[in-house]
Amino acid sequence: MTTTPPSKTGRRILAMQLGFLGLGHMGLAIASNLLAAGHHVRAWNRSQEPLARLQAKGAEIVKEPVDALQGDALFSMLANDDAVRSVLIDSGALAQARKGLIHVNMATISVALAEELAVLHDRLGLAYVAAPVFGRPEAAASAKLHIVVAGAPSPVASIEPVLAALGQKIWPVGSEPKAANIVKIAGNFMIASMIETIGEAAALVQGHGVTAADFLDVMTNSLFAAPAYKTYGDLIARAQFEPAGFKLTLGLKDVRLALAAGEAAHVPLPLGSLLRDNFLDCIAHGESDKDWSALAGVAARRAGLDERDEKRPIA
């Protein structure tokens, strides 16, 4: 290991040999910040374009996922349970990882898979830390993510200086990795619920001649002057759903994760069922690739509001 430049806290940290799997919008931004912090990054991704961009920043590109599991730690930001299982388990990559490797899984995965991964890593002699994040790609790019962390104390302590270069705050929630995953699932459930509420409230005022922009300007600068309300309120008021910072299909995935977690613990989530159906409504109307804030348009569509009417600027 070598010493990196001072971190945001002013401390020098040891540069690590890191693997990285999954270079979507979030993964590419996170991997770029790991490079900027002075770490050596070996990266793998199915599509080549993000790899070329990361290679230009100094990353080493590897041909197979297993090649990224031979350093000090592996960071993964894969899209869903199926991708995690395919890339890490079914491929045999995890079984061939360097002993003592710390796997930092930043993806939003199911509680069931989180439990399975914890057992599997322990059996293979690998450390496992769950570190899902709150924040859109622009927050990832500017290293302002909120990182929820859970895992055994020793690997968490080892990896925290690296995580500090990726976000504005680290939130430890316990020694069982699944704790971070359920916090992330519940948090995304709250965001989806907020988007739905904004959409319904905006449709209500538009039905009485008030624009969504005027209404949301009042709300997000008074009663709901919080970052999430401001970010999504602005997107909804301007109907700016492309390019997607977080695709609508991923929102549906996360709501389904919440419903599955609720069923496993006998916790009813009535609003979750509504959200699932409204996400499906959007997909049925060809909006799969839009930002998940397009969910707000379901209420307007049901109310018969004309999205071409300049007085009603909501999709």
Cα–Cα distance measured from residue 121 to residue 202, given in angstroms and rounded to the nearest whole number: 47
Query: By C-alpha distance, which of 249, 236, 235 is closest to 287?
Result: 249
Residue 208 CB partners (closer than 8 Å, separation 6+): none
Helix or strand holding residue 247 (H, E): none
- Is 103 in contact with 73 (CB distance < 8 Å)? yes
Give the 3-state DSSP-derived string for 261-298, with helices as H, strands as E and coil as C: HHHHCCCCCHHHHHHHHHHHHHHHCCCCCCEHHHHHHH
Residue 225 CB partners (closer than 8 Å, separation 6+): none
Write down the catalytic residue from 184, 247, 253, 290. Answer: 184
Residue 10 CB partners (closer than 8 Å, separation 6+): none
Query: By C-alpha distance, which of 36, 1, 17, 181 is closest to 101?
Result: 17
* DSSP code at position 95: G
Q: Crossing angle for the helix pair 248-264 and 270-284, nearest 10 degrees?
A: 150
Beta strands in the chain (DSSP E): 17-21, 40-44, 60-61, 73-76, 102-105, 127-130, 133-134, 145-151, 167-172
Cα–Cα distance measured from residue 265 to residue 272, given in angstroms and rounded to the nearest whole number: 15
| Amino acid symbol at 240 | Q
Mark whether 169 is an active-site residue.
no
| Amino acid symbol at 213 | A
Give the 3-state DSSP-derived string for 67-92, with helices as H, strands as E and coil as C: HHHCCCEEEECCCCHHHHHHHHHHCC
User: Which residues carry out catalysis?
Assistant: 184
